[in-house]
Every structure is written in structure tokens, then in C-alpha cells.
Amino acid sequence: MQSHTLKPTPFVDDYLAALLAQASQLISAEFHAVVRRQGLAVSEWRILATLADSPPMSIGRLARIALAKQPTVTRLLDRMQEKGHVERTAHDSDRRVTLVGITPAGRRLVDRLIVLAREHEDRVLAPFGLARAETLKTTLRRIIELHRPPSEAG
């Protein structure tokens, strides 16, 4: 009799961080093509999507959520403000903090993209069914919550 040994799974094919990164890259690349066809840079999409359902926020917080460096976001906001998509205001109690909010024009632009993003998400998750898709999203939100630095909580 021949002995059959199972070939071990390569590390990156079984490592959570690698799997998350690969899945994110593949799914994001699909939707980023849609964003570019709508005439928007991916970084602009991330900022508008972040601001779409939020009150004005600091540039630092916006940069963390949009996965960009603060100086990059500041330059990007200059362009976006010129286009009329965002507006900056001073923080009520801390003059060092500038808040960024979405304008009505930015809102109209991002609302169209959010519809397309939801349709894309539905296509990505459809093979798994509604319950498994919601379980996955709940698990990912919990991972983020548990691993977010204390300074960024809330």
C-alpha cells in the first residue's frame, strides 16, 4: 500500500492577514475600475464614501479611515474643495483641528457611486448567501474593533 500524505497548505494560503489582503485587493480592483470610469480617482472615492454618512471629521481621522497618509489627504482635499466636493471648517473648540465635510455636489456624486458599490458588493457576496455574507461582515467589524489602536476607538 502506498502512503498518501497531505501536502501542507502554503502559509499565505492559510494566513488570515494574507487572505484578507488578497481578497481586499481583488474585490477593490474590480470596483476601482468602476470608480475611474465615473471620472473619479480611487482616493477621492474613499474620501467621499467616508464622508457620505458621517458628520464632518478631522483630516487625521479621515486619513486613517481612507487608508492614506495625512499630507496626501490634505493635498487631495485641496483639489476636491476646488471641485466643490468637500468643504473645510474650523473645529468649534480646538482651533488646531480642521474638519472636513461633504458638500451637496460631493454628495450627489458619491450617492451614484454608492449604488454601484452596493451592486458590486451584492455580486461578490451572492455565492455565499445572505446569512454567511452578514456573518462575514460582522466578523470583520469585530476584528477591526478588537485591533484598532485605543487612540482611534469610537
At 16, list the grid cell.
488570515
Q: What is the pLDDT of residue 4?
A: 62
For the record, the C-alpha cell of 58 comes out as 478631522
How many whole angstroms separate alpha carbon 68 and alpha carbon 50?
Answer: 12
- Report residue 87 as a C-alpha cell: 468643504
Q: What's the CA gap between 12 and 18, in Å, rounded?
A: 6
**Nine-digit cell string for 147:** 485591533
Please report the domains of the chain, with CATH numbers, ordered by start residue.
12-147 (1.10.10.10)
What is the per-residue pLDDT for 84?
A: 97
| The predicted structure's pLDDT at residue 36 | 96
Predicted model pTM: 0.83
Q: What is the pLDDT of residue 139?
A: 97
d(CA 89, CA 20): 36
Say what the pLDDT of residue 43 is: 93
In the chain (154 residues long), the average pLDDT of successive 10-residue segments reads 73 94 96 95 95 94 91 96 95 83 96 96 97 97 91 63
- With 0-12 / 13-18 / 19 or more C-beta atoms within 10 angstroms meaning exposed / middle / buried, residue 107 is middle
